[in-house]
Amino acid sequence: MGLLNALDNPINADGIILGKVEDLFNWGRAKSNWFLQFGLACCAIEFMAVNASHFDLMRFGNIPRSSPRQADYIVISGTVTLKMAERIKILFEQIPEPRYAISMGSCANSGGPYWQHGYNVLKGIDRVIPIDVYIPGCPPRPEAFEQAVLKLQEKISMEEIFKKRERVAQEDKMLESMLKAEENNFIENVNKHI
Ligand code: SF4
């Protein structure tokens, strides 16, 4: 990653590295992603394999956590029934911001083999929670999961933490003025009909 490569740069001599605080934060966040221990169906077996010694997910800085309150992301690995969708939403919302989600396999992406006749299956987890990385396949190979982890790291390392706060503040202001305008319109309409 950039931080370690910078040590080889002769301009940044004597261990001094010039950079943005935002990059440093993002580097730390991207390389220490903790995930919630959670699995749903057959895809979860592949997810377990990624965590075993052969694929060694921890070398990417991904550590399993038993509580959503200590996790950074959740992996939706398997068929999502309508009954389970509600629980997944609760678990996702218990992860502190900024939080992320990976959708693993066709079932989680779109309902998979249950698309047409699975009356009890949700047709895509993104109908319930926002997804950052989708992994295709039925089931996807562990290597595909590792690729998704790298994609998530890439996404996190490019995030604009400080500008995001400004943007959210601007969006809040816009929303407030829109609600105010809507309220005024409503009062005007009511007054017209009195
Ligand atoms: S995508 Fe395939 S392997 Fe994964 S949960 Fe669905 S049916 Fe099972």
Condensed to tens digits (0 to 9), the pLDDT of residues 39-81 reads: 999 999 999 999 999 999 999 999 999 999 999 999 999 999 9
Residue 186 reports pLDDT greater than 70: yes
Query: 17-26, 128-137, 157-166, 174-183 — which one is most confidently predicted on average?
Result: 128-137
- With the most atoms of ligand 1 within 8 angstroms of its CB, the residue from 81, 107, 123 to mutate is 107
Mean pLDDT of all residues belonging to the chain: 89
Give the residue-averaged pLDDT of 169-180: 86
pLDDT at 12: 57
> How much is the pLDDT for 105?
96
Between CA 20 and CA 29, with CA 25 as vertex, the angle to 5 degrees is 150
Rounded CA gap, 111 and 168, in Å? Answer: 33
Q: How confident is the model at residue 193 (pLDDT cuts 50, 70, 90)?
A: confident
Q: Which amino acid is at 164?
A: K
Phi, psi (deg, nearest 5) at residue 74: -120, 145
In this structure, the residue with its CA closest to atom 6 of ligand 1 is 107
pLDDT digits 0-9 by tens, 81-97: 999 999 999 999 999 98
| pLDDT at site 3 | 58
Strand order in the sheet with 133-135: 63-65, 34-36, 73-77, 100-104, 133-135
Look at residues 82, 60, 83, 86 and name the one whose alpha carbon lies nearest to residue 73.
60
Q: Which two tokens stand for residue 173?
A: 């202001």
Q: Is the pLDDT of residue 164 over 90?
A: no
Taking CA atoms only, the protein residue closest to ligand 1 atom 2 is 138
State residue 11's pLDDT score.
Answer: 58
Pocket test for ligand 1, best of 138, 141, 145 (most atoms within 8 A of CB): 138
Ligand 1 pocket residues where CB is under 6 Å: 41-43, 78-79, 105-107, 112-113, 138-139
| Across 89-107, average pLDDT | 95
Ligand 1 geometric centre to CA of 168 (Å): 37
Greater pLDDT, 105 or 175: 105
How far apart are the CA of 146 and the centre of ligand 1, in A? 18
Q: By alpha-carbon position, which residue is closest to atom 5 of ligand 1?
A: 78
The atom number, within ligand 1, closest to the CA of 113 reads 7
Which helix (H) or strand (E) segment holds residue 65: the answer is strand 63-65
